[in-house]
A and B are shown apart, each in its own frame.
Chain A
């Protein structure tokens, strides 16, 4: 299947730090999606992007759809303990394919 490369694979940060993760694809897509998954739960949609260059915020989260339509990034500002989890990017055509996720850890 077509590949999504999500990085970094994991992050260890201090509470209050900003976080940045990204996703790249070898192909062009019309939709980028960002999800967060808590342990033992289904992923929850954070932000959906439908247009190249689109920059969208949801509280402390900001995501952008790259102008080449092959990449997207997600930023989290001023991280808090409940931000811990796995963040997935996904791209959509006739089906929805996910990256392998970025695992966010917050150090005590």
Chain B
């Protein structure tokens, strides 16, 4: 996790506002992932990207958007269409077909 930076660690937003979570990596990994964690729900996949300029929806993509313009960066936007955005968001990276490494997470609270 030393090479994966998520910022900020805590984020507060008003209901109805879009918010973008940052994930940057210096591990030169091709693949990047965004997960959402709620109590008792484990980690659920939102979006993933296996290569620059390409990404796929995970199991819970509705209300979220991503971009992958650079290998190092995979920002996640939580839009106003996401009904329950308060959660712990985790970014991960991996080489092709190997294990994933995680950032420290961003805790988003919508008030």
A residues adjacent to B (C-beta < 8 A): 1, 6, 30-31, 33, 35, 40-45, 48, 88, 90, 92, 94-101
| Cross-interface CB contact of A88 among B42, B97, B107, cutoff 8 Å | B42
- A16 nearest CB across to chain B (Å): 28
**B102 in contact with A43 (CB, 8 Å):** yes
Main secondary structure of the interface of B (DSSP, over half): strand
**A98 in contact with B42 (CB, 8 Å):** yes
- A15 nearest CB across to chain B (Å): 25
| Cross-interface CB contact of A42 among B42, B59, B104, cutoff 8 Å | B104
Q: Which of A33, A35, A95, A99 has the most CB of B within 10 A?
A: A95
- A11 nearest CB across to chain B (Å): 15
**B33 in contact with A96 (CB, 8 Å):** yes
- B61 nearest CB across to chain A (Å): 11
With contact pairs A1-B45, A101-B42 given, residues A95 and B101 touching in the complex (Cβ less than 8 Å) = no
Give chain B's interface residue range (CB within 8 Å of chain A).
20 to 34
**A88 in contact with B104 (CB, 8 Å):** no
Main secondary structure of the interface of A (DSSP, over half): strand
A95 vs B98: C-alpha distance in the bound complex, in angstroms?
Answer: 10
A-B contact pairs, 28 of them (CB 8 A): A1-B45, A1-B58, A1-B59, A31-B99, A33-B100, A40-B107, A41-B104, A41-B105, A42-B4, A42-B92, A42-B105, A43-B90, A44-B1, A48-B99, A88-B42, A92-B99, A95-B45, A95-B48, A95-B56, A96-B33, A96-B45, A97-B59, A98-B42, A98-B43, A98-B44, A99-B42, A100-B40, A100-B41
With contact pairs A42-B1, A42-B102, A98-B35 given, residues A92 and B97 touching in the complex (Cβ less than 8 Å) = yes
| Cross-interface CB contact of A96 among B1, B40, B42, B94, cutoff 8 Å | B94
Q: Answer whether residue B109 sits at the interface, using C-beta atoms and an 8 A cutoff.
A: no
**A33 in contact with B45 (CB, 8 Å):** no
